[in-house]
A and B are shown apart, each in its own frame.
Chain A
């Protein structure tokens, strides 16, 4: 069986859905951050797969975009984990539904 672009895209869709479900359904902030990682990985995979499907042009746009996504994600994780630490200091909890300081 030849592994074509469609298989990569399907895997990417599954990964993105799992990440989105984890982000929406879990209340642990750390798990939510990890789910964002999963989603961004899925996006990267789709970009690289589409880039490979049009590899005869020699353009690297998809890989380039994936590279910048990786850079942005490293920044996001650093700031996100700092916010989680700060929130834990404030609330003694990492549950996102207990971060209600702005409520009323």
Chain B
């Protein structure tokens, strides 16, 4: 899987840039959480998550890709030349150590740090609320639908009886 390879490579580059803490965070957060989350969702969606290959406008798309690639090559060349003047100075002795980074994090960036914890909390609650679907709707009302999937929203079900719909098990 290309994304995992990219993440591991970027973690290695962080190490080579003396950002040990970020490399560890990269491995834990991305390879440990994000990729696993993606795998879970792909597993949940099943084979229909992979769209059929579409062959519309192959010529135009190839042309677009070519122009895009040439443009990016030019941009790379320009960037490499202009960033060359930047150089790379000798690092301070404790640059990038977890000690120094943590000191900066908890002194200069304490408020954003706390705010990011609030952001993660909101994201978790929002993700649960969005992924869970509507309340009162039985999660697996139609056993005839594809296995392992949740029920279709707006499916006409049995006449409302007034009481909240009970989950019917197949």
Contact = CB atoms under 8 A, between A and B. Distances in A.
Contacts of B120: 71, 74-75
Nearest to A84: B41
Contact of A85 (B13, B41, B86, B112): B41
A77 B94 CA distance: 33
A8 B38 CA distance: 27
B87 A70 contact: no
Interface in B116-168: 116, 119-120, 122-124, 126-128, 130-131, 133, 149-154
Contacts of B30: 37, 70
Interface residues of A, number: 66
Determine chain A's interface SS by DSSP, over half rule. Answer: helix
B130 A94 contact: no
Taking each of A7, A21, A55, which has the highest tally of chain B beta carbons within 10 Å of its own beta carbon? A55
Determine chain B's interface SS by DSSP, over half rule. Answer: helix
Contact of A52 (B18, B49, B51, B112): B18
Interface in B58-99: 61, 65, 68, 72, 75-76, 79-81, 83-84, 86-92, 94-96
Interface of B: 3, 6-7, 10, 13-14, 16-19, 21-22, 25-26, 29-30, 33-34, 37-38, 41-42, 44-45, 48-51, 54, 61, 65, 68, 72, 75-76, 79-81, 83-84, 86-92, 94-96, 100-101, 104-105, 108-109, 112, 116, 119-120, 122-124, 126-128, 130-131, 133, 149-154
26 contacts: A5-B88, A6-B84, A10-B76, A10-B79, A13-B79, A27-B51, A37-B3, A41-B10, A50-B86, A54-B89, A55-B89, A55-B90, A55-B95, A63-B96, A64-B105, A70-B22, A70-B25, A70-B29, A78-B37, A78-B124, A81-B38, A82-B128, A85-B45, A89-B150, A94-B48, A94-B49
Interface of A: 3-11, 13-15, 17, 21, 25, 27-28, 30, 33-34, 37-38, 41, 44-45, 48-60, 63-64, 66-68, 70-79, 81-86, 88-90, 92-95
